[in-house]
Structure 1
């Protein structure tokens, strides 16, 4: 995108990576799908396979492909319905493009909000992706825009890629962009903007450098890439951001050399289950707890008991992911509830020993067991974690 020279540095050691490719690389200049930039990225995937490495591809482009096929027609109906129709129309040519460029069979995997919110479906998706990799197949993942609704959409494929990276226990998240790196200012508007080659840790100052989407084709800008990097870092996965439009840059990846921005991991790797609990899309269930319960959960070693529950809002079933809030509506924790919403309402404020008496049965003394709970506040300061 720019003429600025980027320093080259080594990629972290990796055996399995998730590569995210955006619409701006597959639908150049807002038109239909083109292999112009995809060819170099496919060659990188082939080289990775030859080196006994595994790659999961998260690819945008379906909506852009569908729009190009109907370029001379006017979409009818609500905006969401039109986008869903375009996504359905464009999935086939998008997958066909990658199959044409791939030496291995390509498998399409469409994920939805519910696939990542429901623990059982989350684990099923992970098992499927891992089996595809074992079979030597190239999985191509995308959000299922055809059935997703706005309030349940994952939002963008940058964040989806980070979730998939944790899903398959990847060692590295690679984000191919039309921007060659993170800059300290918008390089499209500021000639003095300088690239940042290495980010040891994401801070609010670093995140503030990110802007919005660069064109009308894509839905995610640098901000979503940093959000994705933050999610990946929470799972112990570093992120590399680079230009997918520069064939030399992509070629250098084969030698584990990055011309772009490497966002490192700080701290220890979070347990996969705790990571999922913290970052999976939430449903409508909310449980409000009192100050004593907030203090207990902040320690990270306590379960949520019925005595600390003040209010239950929304509907959820046993095993669903719920958000846990304090009396001021501040997020405190997230966890898998052992009881449904109606059951929790009936036992709220009571002692655990009363559960069987009130309900006529018991699934245990805890509403959310500590093994199924991830805290969102710091145990020492009581402040919400980033």
Structure 2
């Protein structure tokens, strides 16, 4: 779907954007590259939108891909292996920042993140503090994955999901994802003549994911990752707008709070920053629980060791772990009170036996309810153990 060029102003009817004060705008590689390097033809319109939003008293955090493509533009074809792409990312970061700075009067600031930064609570809070301070100073934070060291992220092309995590991190009201097509269609618009635009999504379902397109040539994420990101943002009470960043009229309309694209809505419930962190922090292990523990968790209880059947992964006390039901259903995510080895030893035991088994006891629960967030109502398997 990445090369489809639709007149999106006619395919996607106008609809109002949700009201917002702070937004995260994600821009992918396919909108920034051309002729072997970075090309401002589409970025200029997006920069005008950001500048206009700032003049309206709004704040924007930019999540930008393009470092690898920029590096390739500087030295040519260096190969496409992981090591080569790490080197290209390092070569391209400076060019990418210079590219964006040339389009803005305001100072831009580079912020490189990895999933490890989102997993570790202290680093998560440090990143949040830095981003909010940059906004306070009137700078434009430009976030990218640290591709030079984040091997898994390079392979997965996760900047869409990174943008959702950043939206949660900074308490954004809206996630804007610029794509190279008009939005979500009911089928592949090039192959299916009956394909119609989907202008509103109230829940990201497996059926929607099934019709999502694959990755483009330059970018590494496709429409599926954008829907995954939108579903993650929705769980934090953040709506997502998918729109064509190649269409100047569509981008300009955003400045009037008008969307020609797909709006993924939210139930409006905002959760605490700690719960948001738990939702998006990558898990280091899995605790599989029985039916009794599943029912207790859904009632809001802590996870006691008696209901834990198996323990997988290598995690430390305080690390984030996923909680699965017997059938593999993702139920919850939380911070482990005991490390992996200790958890194996007390799994299936009564809480009163913990001290006898381990020689000490931190807590009667393996995950306390205050350190746990339920995920079972999510429509897609968005959070998986790496």
Q: TM-score, normalised by structure 1?
A: 0.90
Q: How does 1:201-216 map to 2 (within 5 A)?
A: 201-213=203-215, 215-216=216-217
Q: Where does residue 16 of structure 1 map in the other structure?
A: 22
Aligned residues of 1:19 and 1:176 also touching (Cα < 8 A): yes
Write the distance in 1 (CA, Å) between the matches of 2:224 and 2:326.
31
Change (3 A) 1:354 1:211: same
Q: What displacement does 1:40 show?
A: 1.0
Uncovered stretches (5+) of structure 1, i.e. residues with no partner? none
- Aligned-CA RMSD value: 2.4
In the TM superposition, what is the alpha-carbon distance from 1:257 to its structure 2 partner?
Answer: 1.3
Q: Which moved more, 1:330-339 or 1:363-372?
A: 330-339
Q: Go from structure 1 to structure 2 and tell me whether the alpha carbon gap of 1:134 and 1:190 turns closer, same or farther (over 3 Å shift).
A: same
Assess, with a 3 A threshold, how the Cα gap between structure 1 residues 385 and 266 changes in structure 2: closer, same or farther. farther
1:334 partner SS:
strand
What is residue 44 of structure 1 aligned with on the other side?
Answer: 49
Cα gap change, 1:363 to 1:153, in 2 (>3 Å)? farther
Q: Does 1:57 align with 2:62?
A: yes
Paired residue secondary structure (1:296) = helix
- Cα distance in 2 for partners of 1:240, 1:338 equals 38
Residue 3 (1) aligns with residue 7 (2): yes
Q: 1:324 to 1:203 in 2, by over 3 A?
A: closer
Local SS of the residue matching 1:233: helix
Count of aligned pairs = 376
Specify the alignment match of 2:39 in structure 1.
Answer: 34
Paired with 1:258 and 1:329, the residues of 2 have a C-alpha distance of 38
2:156–2:220 CA contact under 8 A, matched in 1: no
Runs of 4+ that moved beyond 4 A: 151-154, 383-386
Contact 1:235–1:272 (CA<8 Å) still a contact in 2? no
Q: Which of 125-134 and 150-159 deviates more? A: 150-159
Deviation at residue 35 of structure 1 after TM alignment? 1.1
- Post-superposition shift, 1:384? 8.9
1:95 paired residue number: 97
Match of 2:200 in 1: 198
Contact 1:238 1:265 in 2 (8 A): yes
- Which protein, 1 or 2, shows the higher relative CO under an 8 Å CA cutoff with sep ≥ 6? 2
For residues 348 and 206 of structure 1, do their structure 2 counterparts lie closer, same or farther at Cα, with a shift above 3 Å needed?
Answer: closer
TM-score (norm 2): 0.90
User: CA–CA distance in 1 between the matches of 2:130 and 2:155?
Assistant: 22
